[in-house]
Amino acid sequence: NKESSSSRGALIVLEGLDRCGKTSQSGRLYKYLDEQGHSVESWRFPDRNTGVGQMISSYLANKSQLDDHAIHLLFSANRWEKRSLMEEKLKSGTTLIVDRYSYSGVAFSSAKGLDIEWCKAPEIGLLAPDLVVYLDISPEKAAERGGYGDERYEQLEFQKKVAGSYLSLRDSSWKVIDATLSIEDVEKKLREVVLDCMITCHKGKPLSQLWP
């Protein structure tokens, strides 16, 4: 831990449609903060390394079928199984850059038609992010980027519904970055909002819980 133990790390969440560039941007952000000497880790959900994560992974690869409610609860359980470690890391001063979180959980499941309040319920009590960054791209543009794999949700019609769900979840605290800008420009804007947030957490902003 390269920072003083009295200040906590920030919980930074990146959200967006599939192919919005989240994963490359979290990697670049991680590298930058690490090189700057910050204590930082790069996380992602689903975390496919746990037992629950393996069930999710098999579902996403269409190797198993699950009721929409059941898979929703597995995604949530996958966050719950990491909650105490997350809190420990943040309290010890480590900033976490998290690729997808509860908002993905709610956006993707409600896009299937599940009730939004029902979708939010199992997330209650998870740690609330200090910053949510939404990498904004239209479903059509994202699809043009190619590389939609064979995973279950990587289809234009479904991504359009997810975009709608994200829109209803967004609030004024979210930072929205145009994901169609160049990689470097997105990176620059992302660094600005993240550094700002880290300072606020450093100064003693308390950790809070979902949903605020």
Chain positions contacting ligand TMP, by CB under 6 A: 18, 45-46, 60, 75, 100, 104-105, 108, 153
Q: How far is the CB of 198 from ligand TMP (least distance, A)?
A: 23
Q: Which is nearer to ligand TMP, 119 or 198 (CB)?
A: 119
Q: How far is the CB of 12 from ligand TMP (least distance, A)?
A: 15
Q: How far is the CB of 203 from ligand TMP (least distance, A)?
A: 30
Mind giving me the DSSP string for the chain? Answer: --S-TTSPPPEEEEE-STTSSHHHHHHHHHHHHHHTT--EEEEESS-TTSHHHHHHHHHHTTSS---HHHHHHHHHHHHHTTHHHHHHHHHTT-EEEEES-HHHHHHHHHHTT--HHHHHGGGTTSBPPSEEEEEE--HHHHHHT----SSTT--HHHHHHHHHHHHHH--TTSEEEETTS-HHHHHHHHHHHHHHHHHHHHTTPPP-BS--
Q: Which is nearer to ligand TMP, 39 or 57 (CB)?
A: 57
Q: How far is the CB of 199 from ligand TMP (least distance, A)?
A: 28
Q: Which is nearer to ligand TMP, 195 or 210 (CB)?
A: 210
Q: Which is nearer to ligand TMP, 36 or 64 (CB)?
A: 64
Q: Which is nearer to ligand TMP, 124 or 199 (CB)?
A: 124
Q: How far is the CB of 71 from ligand TMP (least distance, A)?
A: 7
